[in-house]
Structure 1
């Protein structure tokens, strides 16, 4: 066995915090990237309740955990416990990547970049397209800002709580001069048509695979491409209904993989060779049957 695969006193620790966390594939991806780059590291999942978030961040820092990914429901709530927020995360107002520094964890957001790479790999263009975004949480913020940066025709944000959708639409408009409007999720009617629909909520995620944010099956005749940021299960009820209606569909595995790669590069201040990364993506995707 290679010494790289043995945990020892020099092994760097990374991880993921979220609630729940049992569905995650992030350890497979990050530990595979670590092996690819011959990095003496280990990446672990840590289930952290909302009530324990502050103590978890403080404890991880004192344990010298070099980097953390952040998932539902902590992407926005973790920000007050960071030393600062960098780059795109400032615009989004949510973080998914924390890097250890002498002053505390620094927050970044690689979700948007990961999603954009995944779309490009699947020949899905945003420019001049009509876009519907379901949800208004941290993932929706990253999705909205990324889409707005790619010159769409329009963005419509639909959420169960209209006030949250209105707030996100307003925030997007502060940075991008494109048509953005907000609606309540239950007011999507039969006269609305979209080139792309992004499902950004956790509805339908394992173990609640029998749920979908859209109850009316006729809705799927009003969209051409359906993207669900969930990756477990690999095909949510939302995507099943979209596929049945003839839509092109894409799950969140590509976004997960490429945002993980960017997080690794931030933590280690390096660049992963493109060809090697693409080979690893295909290998993991095939083995996991995504």
Structure 2
């Protein structure tokens, strides 16, 4: 019997998850299909009730529902409970179990290019949902020094206080972080600043960046944001958000199918959809 999967969000038309997962279902000979389901924020409860009626085997959750889904779940894994957000739900034996593969997906993609992260002084730009998942995951992994810069200090302080894992963190405004950029070996950009169509915007100036710093931006459209272009001009090693997107999807696929998929196949599929090349 065919298994049904979905990705829910508002909006949802931009999601590439069905293209990625449906290709994997076919590649591994699985009788399964993923569809986009638009659930409006103001109609979330009724939308979830309809989802329950679909005999769903699992689904991805995208903005703005990653926190709203939690009360509708039967179980949460420890990391998603700590983060307070869910992006992957496994439905089995009548239970809905929530996971967060965003932070772990980011970490897997990061380690592929930057394996020495534990001992590297790290700066996270932003304090939203993506920053929360990445910050908690890196702290859980054992990164010892993770500083956070944000325009609103109170949000960054709240993020620091919420982290249940041991980590040294200094909170600072963007202007202060700009002056101290030379102290960091890893800079992670987690905001939406620089995303298409606002491609000329950058959350921070790169003038004090040291040659050889690893600069990562979770945005993948455009493939090189302004912050990445500026960092590359200063001699940095850069990474866009494609790896995070691929690995969070691969981890979700593994939870649903108990198969860790071919991530290179996923990469080529995503790049084909984007019509461009990864950095």
TM-score (norm 2): 0.87
Who is 2:6 aligned against?
15
Residue 39 of structure 2 corresponds to residue 48 of structure 1: yes
Alignment RMSD (CA, Å): 2.5
Who is 2:199 aligned against?
209
* Pairing 1:1-290 to 2, within 5 Å after superposition: 10-101=1-92, 103-172=94-163, 174-176=164-166, 178-192=167-181, 193-214=183-204, 216-218=205-207, 220=209, 224-268=213-257, 270-272=258-260, 277-281=262-266, 283-284=268-269, 287=272, 288=275, 289-290=277-278
- The structure-2 alpha-carbon separation of the partners of 1:35 and 1:49, relative to structure 1 and needing over 3 Å to count, comes to same
- The structure-2 alpha-carbon separation of the partners of 1:230 and 1:56, relative to structure 1 and needing over 3 Å to count, comes to farther
1:211-264 CA distances to partner (integer Å, 9 max, x unpaired)? 3322x3425459811111122222222222222222111111111111111111
3-state DSSP of counterpart to 1:69? strand
For 2:209 and 2:62, how far apart are their aligned partners in 1? 28
Q: Which runs of 4+ in 1 moved over 6 A?
A: none
3-state DSSP of counterpart to 1:143? helix
3-state DSSP of counterpart to 1:127? helix
3-state DSSP of counterpart to 2:185? strand
3-state DSSP of counterpart to 2:186? strand
- The structure-2 alpha-carbon separation of the partners of 1:51 and 1:251, relative to structure 1 and needing over 3 Å to count, comes to same
3-state DSSP of counterpart to 1:148? helix
The answer for unaligned runs of 5 or more in structure 2 is none
